[in-house]
Amino acid sequence: MELWFTEKHTPYVRFSIKVDKQLYSGKSEFQRIDVFESKEFGRILTLDGYLMLTEKDEFIYHEMITHVPMSVMPQAQKILIIGGGDGGTAREILRYKTVKRIDLVDIDATVADVCRKYIPQTGASLDDPRVHCHFEDGLKYIRHYENDYDIIIVDSTDPFGPGEGLFTKEFYGNCYKALKDDGIMVNQHESPFYTEDAYAMQRAHKRIFASFPISRIYQAHIPTYPSGHWLFGFASKKYHPIEDADWDKWEKLGIKTRYYNPKLHAGAFALPNYVEEIVREVE
């Protein structure tokens, strides 16, 4: 018998990974959570049937969502992660000894518990004393903060289900308010390739562009996400993502990365023409 995990990327495209076994399956108050074991990608976390991470390629996503803003502001001390209950983003931030505190706000405590147990590669970071987990809706949490965080990383699910509120104007406006005067917000920005995903990413960019003086998009290749071509948003009150990156300082930190490097950081902001067009349309 063959077992396969299959995700629908569009009504006409499916992506499948052969799995050896299902390690966990459960339903929390918010979503269905599954963990699979596979030969090619190692352990796989899915929420409501959508692939969140695999042990083999999570480093790409987590390095790119973390080291791009951290190399622009290597002096950052107080970081907020919204979503990210798998712990991968927290793990990357913990590599900066200068960071004093990470608040991680995920709506679903079960995701964190499942990752601690089944995917310690990311989940173990959640038990670090610098990481403070808050299990509540990020949309509500952010309303109570002003001038507080250096960097906010929005490591959310897609813009439907519990993650929907994290793609709204209200949310981006409140992130702006919660950031210090030179603060940076980075978010996972969906894919530009398939029509529906491209629409979601354009709508998110329109809202972020209207909320921050500096708003740019960068890309990475993530093999297990729809189309493999994934975008991130870089929004900032003051710093330009390339001109203000302090790569000498970053390199002196000696952080060993597998995907991220300063040249790639600069190159990641050079978008293909069809993506530029989608983005420009709403600027």
Tell me how far, at minimum, the Cβ of 161 lies from ligand SAM, in Å: 7
Q: Find the distance separating the first CA and the last CA of the chain, reported in whole Å.
A: 52
Whole-angstrom distance, CA of residue 6 vs CA of residue 132: 34
Residue nearer to ligand SAM on the CB measure, 44 or 107: 107
The answer to whether residues 115 and 122 touch, using CB atoms and an 8 Å cutoff, is yes
What DSSP string describes 155-213? Answer: E---SSGGGGGGGSHHHHHHHHHHEEEEEEEEEE---SSSHHHHHHHHHHHHHHHHH-S
Binding residues for ligand SAM (CB under 6 A):
52-53, 61, 82-86, 105-108, 111, 137-139, 155-157, 162-163, 165-166, 188
Tell me how far, at minimum, the Cβ of 110 lies from ligand SAM, in Å: 8
155 is known as an active-site residue: yes
Place of tokens 């406006």: 173
Tell me how far, at minimum, the Cβ of 72 lies from ligand SAM, in Å: 21
Tell me how far, at minimum, the Cβ of 197 lies from ligand SAM, in Å: 12
Catalytic position from the list 34, 103, 106, 155: 155
What DSSP string describes 99-168? Answer: --EEEEEES-HHHHHHHHHH-HHHHGGGGSTTEEEEES-HHHHGGG-SS-EEEEEEE---SSGGGGGGGS
**Which residue has the CB atom at the shortest distance from ligand SAM?**
83
Which residues are the active-site residues? 155
